[in-house]
Amino acid sequence: MMRNDMESILFTEEQLREKVAELGAAITRDYKDKNPLIVSVLKGSYIFMADLTRQIDTPCNIDFMVVSSYGNGTKTTGEVQIIKDLATSIDGRDVIIVEDILDSGVTLSYLMKVLKARGANSIALCTLLSKPERHKVHVDIDYLGFEIPDAFVVGYGLDYAEKYRNLPYIGILKPSVYGE
């Protein structure tokens, strides 16, 4: 039923599984003996983060934030809000932010500055997807899954109006579904 709303499948379950394993291996290598704090930016990254942390073979802690600059729309408002903050102190910690998609960069740039100001030893970004055409602010990506075209994607945690998160693949949503 939801498959009918897709223009096409961008990444299959298998492609996602392989990429997540590759990213987990890279983080394991780079953070051996460091016990990083993995911070999931909810809601979109929850599936990616769960799969990713199972692929990291070194001790790590996890925490969650809800940060938004989109509201219920498909384009950033430019105003970033922290809706749910971390429960863990990051002072002196190596932090890895796990995000579903780097779109404009506005939200992640803001978030990285806030966390650095809180005394993090280091901050790295692991994003499953990046849309280079949409970047308004430069953000360094330490671990990147895939670069994608400027299309509205859903699935594997990504949503439109809180729907489609539960799809096991990432698809391009038909513009007729979101009114463009």
Active site (catalytic) residues: 103
Structure tokens at 56: 């990291």
Residue 86 phi/psi, 5° resolution? -65, 150
The answer to whether 116 touches 128, Cβ cutoff 8 Å, is no
| Size of the chain in residues | 180
Count Cβ atoms below 10 Å from residue 37 Cβ, excluding itself: 22
Run of H or E residues at 22: helix 13-30
The answer to whether 67 touches 117, Cβ cutoff 8 Å, is no
The answer to whether 80 touches 113, Cβ cutoff 8 Å, is no
Task: Give, as one character, the DSSP assignment of residue 134.
Answer: G
By CB atoms closer than 10 A (0-12, 13-18, 19+), residue 116 is middle
Q: Are strands 170-173 and 6-11 parallel, antiparallel or unpaired?
A: antiparallel
